[in-house]
Amino acid sequence: MKSKSNYSKLFGAFSLTFLGDGLTLAAVPWLVSTLTTDTLYASITMTALRLPWLIFSLPVGVLIDRYSRKHMLVGASFTRMIFLLFLTICIWGGWISIPLLALFMFGIGLSRVVFDSTVQTIIPQVVEEKKLEKANGQFTAGQLITSDILGVALGGFIITMHIVYPFAIDTVTAILSLLLISGLRGSFHPAKSKESQVQEQAEKETRPMKNWKREMWSGIQYVFQDRFLRGLAILSVTITLMFSMILVTQIFFVREVLQLEAYAFGILISIATIGSILGSQAVAYMRKRWSSKQLILLSILSMGLLYGAVGLTSNAYVVGGLYFCAAFFIVVYNVIRSSILQRSVPNELLGRVGSVFRFLSFGISAIGTLLGGLLVRVSETFFDRLFSLQLPYLLLSVVYILACFLFASKMRNVAEQ
């Protein structure tokens, strides 16, 4: 299974999926902003997109460790294609509304839970362990280039032609991705130790629901019994909760504070993504010189300072530079965290342990998006609209800096993975 052909097909499907995803994610906020100016009401769509992470992350982790990971990817791509097709039809026909859009976002979000979770577990099955940082860096760079540079930049431009076009193109990329994944050679069932096989055979005689719960619990137990992984999991919750608060209000910040239109918004995000790409390529070099803990702390502190500065300016050029630098450290943090999990967790548990982290981080973002919209709405009763849109950045800065120092003090004497 560890062949260049499989790696190329997986990487191609991954890149196509995120190219279409970038187009859709660029178009959705602008579509929402034409339907409402209420940040709390607008946050419903992003909450719907993130909610599947909260509901399905843990069960999906069990499925990934039970069944063929190739089949999981095929099912995810097919589901994504169907929801995108009907979303495109509804937008073209003029039938779209916030509740209906939220429904489609939930379906697309569900497909993303399965796809993203499975890709992280299948990478170690197509590359050698010593090349994990390099492979993760390439996949991260591929996601950033296709989604945040090509997808968002093209999405911002294509929106000016017709709002439906990004969704239609995303439907096509979902079809192409499905074809590539279907061409992977091998079964891609999770590798299991002899002890795991014996235990699994014994548990087949017990009740299926009991097995299901036991398997989910084993992933949770593995994370929270390890002090370093437990600290990393709690940190992930904090990071994602605050970041999702700025993401949901970002479109209004860009339009009203920075006074940018769709195409300029695409350029702004593309500039930030160049920083992300540099981060994805630099992380392997940085890891040779610093420990994982040091890089995680450096990344969090840098993000806190940089995003705090965003909340203090309304200059689009300054914000572009700050986004560029912050994006560099976002990727360093994510790649290091992924590599820690892939290296330290047994393959037969990787799906479940990874799902715990996605449940705690991406799942909590469903709450963060609502809190972000609520924060701006409440703030507007005391302050003006512009400051209210800057407030999430300032709050994020304070929390990230505090989290950095707390994590450093708690993990000082803990051996990293």
CA–CA separation, 161 and 173 (whole Å): 19
State CA 14 to chain mean position distance: 13
Q: What residue type is assigned to position 391 of the chain?
A: L
Rg (CA), the chain: 21
Most confident of the following: 177-186, 201-210, 338-347: 177-186
| Residue 197 reports pLDDT greater than 50 | no
State CA 195 to chain mean position distance: 33
| Residue 58 reports pLDDT greater than 50 | yes
* Torsion sign over Cα 406, 407, 408, 414: positive
As a whole number, mean pLDDT of residues 381-398 equals 95
- Go through the chain and tell me how many residues it has: 417
Most confident of the following: 58-67, 160-169, 343-352: 160-169
| Residue 323 reports pLDDT greater than 70 | yes
Residue indicated by tokens 């479940």: 352
Higher-confidence residue of 247 and 308: namely 308
Cβ-Cβ contacts under 8 Å for 342 (sequence gap 6 or more): 120, 123, 124, 132, 136, 350
Domains recognised in the chain with CATH numbers: 4-182+212-410 (1.20.1250.20)
| Residue 92 reports pLDDT greater than 80 | yes
57-66, 80-89, 122-131, 170-179: the lowest-pLDDT one: 122-131
As a whole number, mean pLDDT of residues 145-154 equals 78
What percent of the chain is modeled with pLDDT above 90? 39
Most confident of the following: 36-40, 58-62, 330-334, 357-361: 330-334
Q: Give tens-digit pLDDT for 248-260.
A: 889 899 989 999 8
| Residue 54 reports pLDDT greater than 50 | yes
Residue 351's Cβ-side half-sphere holds a number of Cα atoms within 13 Å equal to 29
| Residue 19 reports pLDDT greater than 90 | yes
Q: What is the pLDDT of residue 209?
A: 52
198 confidence band (pLDDT: 50, 70, 90): very low
36 confidence band (pLDDT: 50, 70, 90): confident
Most confident of the following: 17-31, 300-314, 323-337: 300-314
CA–CA separation, 189 and 236 (whole Å): 28
CA–CA separation, 165 and 224 (whole Å): 45
Higher-confidence residue of 4 and 282: namely 282
As a whole number, the mean pLDDT across the chain is: 85
CA–CA separation, 342 and 357 (whole Å): 12
| Residue 400 reports pLDDT greater than 50 | yes
State pTM to two decimals. Answer: 0.75
| Residue 362 reports pLDDT greater than 90 | no
* Torsion sign over Cα 122, 125, 129, 135: negative
